[in-house]
Amino acid sequence: MSDHPQDEELAEAPAPDDVAHEAALPPLRAGLEAVLLVTDEPVPAVTLAQVTERPTEEVEEVLHSLAQEYVEQDRGFELRQVAGGWRLYTRADCAPYIERFVLDGQSARLTQAALETLAVIAYRQPVTRSRVSAVRGVNVDGVVRTLLARGLITESGQDEDSGGILYRTTPLLLERLGLQSLDELPSLAPLLPELEELDSAQPSP
């Protein structure tokens, strides 16, 4: 036994930095939920223990508690233990809402400007933005970005004369239209300028 009991108490007391570190961390339950929300694959309890700096047994206890809590509260998601880890999943009986949300987002109608731009690209592809603008008589930069984001068109090299990016439609467009190939598109060529007019159109700045 030490002749100086106070020295033993000081030696056993946690360092101020450790105390401040623990005080700054959120509760274990909140920390586990935050990690599980951002993962796209099951996370082993031992990994969660390392991240939260807590014993694996304590982490597993909290995980089981959370899983039971979500069930009792009739939440729209559940915590499952699968493939050697833990992950949040949406509840099976909520599938109709999720399917409706996803399908509504994919089938949102294009604006008239987007449809007109898409038609020009479909019939004149590969074609540059400047030539599409010449056909429509307006700047199409924003519309082209929308069509790219929707996956309906894609970049297809550069025009040898102007150096502008060429665009063409994607298989997704055919899928949306229910067509096997572009040859099945209705004949709209007479409604568009002749190729010579497109070729002579001045690129927009």
Averaged in consecutive runs of 10 residues, what is the pLDDT profile of the chain (205 residues)? 50 49 76 90 94 95 96 94 90 84 62 88 91 88 88 90 90 83 73 49 45
pLDDT at 99: 74
pLDDT at 203: 46
Is the Cβ–Cβ distance between 169 and 175 less than 8 Å? Answer: no
DSSP-derived 3-state class of residue 75: coil
pTM of this structure = 0.45
pLDDT at 105: 53
What is the number of other CB atoms lying within 10 angstroms of the CB of residue 111? 10
Domain annotation for the chain: domains and CATH numbers: 26-106 (1.10.10.10), 112-200 (1.10.10.10)
pLDDT at 102: 62
Q: How far apart are CA 35 and CA 86, in angstroms?
A: 10
pLDDT at 174: 86
Q: What is the 3-state secondary structure (H, E, C) of 148-161?
A: HHCCCEEEEEECCC
Nearest to 129 by CA among 137, 141, 138, 118: 141
pLDDT at 111: 83
